Amino acid sequence: MNRKTMSVAIALTLALTTSGSVLASPSSTSLDSIKQQKQDLQVKVEKLDTQISQVMSQIDKNKKDIKTVSSNIDNNKKKLEESQNNIQKQQVLFNQRAKAMYINGVDSYIGVILNSNSLTDLISRIDTVKRVMGSDQEVINDLKDKQEQLALQKQKLNSDNNKLQSLKTDNESKLAKLNSDKSSEKNLIADLDKKEQTIAATSTNSSDNSKVIAAANDVQKIRNEAPSISRGGSAAAASSSSIVAYASNFLGVPYVWGGTSPSGFDCSGLVQYVYAHFGISLPRTSQEQQCVGTAVSRENLQPGDLVFFGSPAYHVGIYVGNGSYINAPKTGDVVKIASVDRSDFSGGRRVK
């Protein structure tokens, strides 16, 4: 991305984050109220995004479990059929043996014994009959036991499948509700944006927006001093300036739920991608990222530090200085610079 394009991107992020406030304007209270309402709604949307992420993860796991159970049910069915066939084969062998005895004038095992010619023959026949009867009984018992076990397994698998299907339905309902709630919150934010723009049109910049402007200027200065850092560059040493400069490449990239690439990021996806460029592996979610590195207070934040909102965190970004950070905010928005001055700020982490 050349400097001209980057200037446009930074101008874009300023336009998106700078909405104006008042110094002594009659609309001061109204504008401050709108800003607070927007921040509260933004927090709700970020929390909803986290919940949606969790439910989506549960749905994915649920689908894998259903696939596994379905495969086990198919295998169980095949084994039951095989067991039934083995019992039938054993019955055929038994019937053939009985038929042979009948043809030879013997209608039972006792007949085999009674037809013995001598004591030695009697003992031999008794031993043979015992072994044949024992073998028949053992085979039949084993087959029946196996069939009973398979039948119990079938019942359990069917029960597990029913539970998983019910869980799938519940999770899908939760997801639909969360998406509906999120859509409603976004509509409210859009309405507040319009009101804010109307009031801000006759107002001067607030101190928060001045900080954001100063931070954006600092980012541009860092980029000018580190022109070699680009999206496709190789891994470099992780310093405050290099992390901020690299992260700034993605200003203007659209927010995409679950996004982990320059085609679209969510908040933790952006942070993970930026740090991976410097050979630093971070967990996937904001809650997990909140546990890495060393804790840093708001007063001691340095550019490149991670900043978190909520505990457990439902939002994360990269501090750039002047009380501001680069982040991927929410669906329908883009990667931009914003103020960390939020009531839900829960701390920073230094991982470089």
pLDDT-derived band at 116, boundaries 50, 70, 90: low
Write out the H or E segment, with its range, that includes residue 62.
helix 28-103
Q: Please, where in the chain does CATH 3.90.1720.10 lie?
A: 1-18+208-352
Which one is catalytic: 249, 267, 277, 322?
267
User: For residue 21, what pLDDT is reported?
Assistant: 36
Q: Which two tokens stand for residue 73?
A: 């049910």
CATH superfamily of the 1-18+208-352 domain: endopeptidase domain like (from Nostoc punctiforme) (3.90.1720.10)
Average pLDDT rounded to a whole number, residues 260-279: 95
HSE-CB at 278 with a 13 A cutoff on CA atoms is: 21
Cα separation, 39 vs 297, whole angstroms: 21
Mean pLDDT in residue range 146-153: 87
CB atoms within 10 A of CB 140: 14
The torsion angles phi and psi of 317, rounded to 5 degrees, stand at -155, -175
Confidence of residue 280 (pLDDT cuts 50, 70, 90): very high
Secondary structure E strands in 35-129: none
pLDDT at residue 77 above 60? Answer: yes
What is the location of CATH 1.10.287 in the chain? 26-204
| 267 belongs to the catalytic site | yes
**Residue type, position 283, single letter:** P
pLDDT value at position 119?
65
What is the per-residue pLDDT for 50?
82
| End-to-end CA gap in the chain | 25
pLDDT of res. 307: 98
- Beta-bridge mates of residue 324: 321, 339
pLDDT digits (tens, 9 = 90+) for 216-252: 777 877 777 665 554 444 445 678 889 999 999 999 9
Cα separation of 333 and 341, whole Å? 19
Nearest to 178 by CA among 321, 318, 333, 45: 45
- Tokens standing for 43? 């927090």
Q: Report residue 330's pLDDT band, with 50, 70 and 90 as the boundaries.
A: confident
pTM tops 0.75, yes or no: no
78-98 mean pLDDT:
76
pLDDT band at 128 (very low <50, low <70, confident <90, very high): low
Q: What pLDDT shows up at residue 113?
A: 53
Please give the average per-residue pLDDT across 134-156, as a whole number: 79
Q: How confident is the model at residue 335 (pLDDT cuts 50, 70, 90)?
A: very high
Q: What is the pLDDT of residues 154-208, one digit of tens each?
A: 999 999 999 999 999 999 999 999 989 988 988 888 888 888 778 766 655 455 6
CATH topology of domain 26-204: Helix Hairpins (1.10.287)
Given a cut of 70, is residue 97 above it in pLDDT? no
Residue 327 is among the residues annotated as catalytic for this protein: yes
Catalytic residue among 76, 209, 249, 327: 327
Residues 194, 9: Cα–Cα separation, whole Å: 22
Judge whether residue 17 has pLDDT over 80: no
Going 315 to 14 to 31 to 207, the CA torsion angle's sign is positive
Measured CA to CA, the distance from residue 40 to residue 32 in angstroms comes to 12
Share of the chain above pLDDT 90, in %: 40
C-alpha to C-alpha distances, 308 to 54, 285, 299, 343, nearest whole angstrom: 18, 11, 14, 11
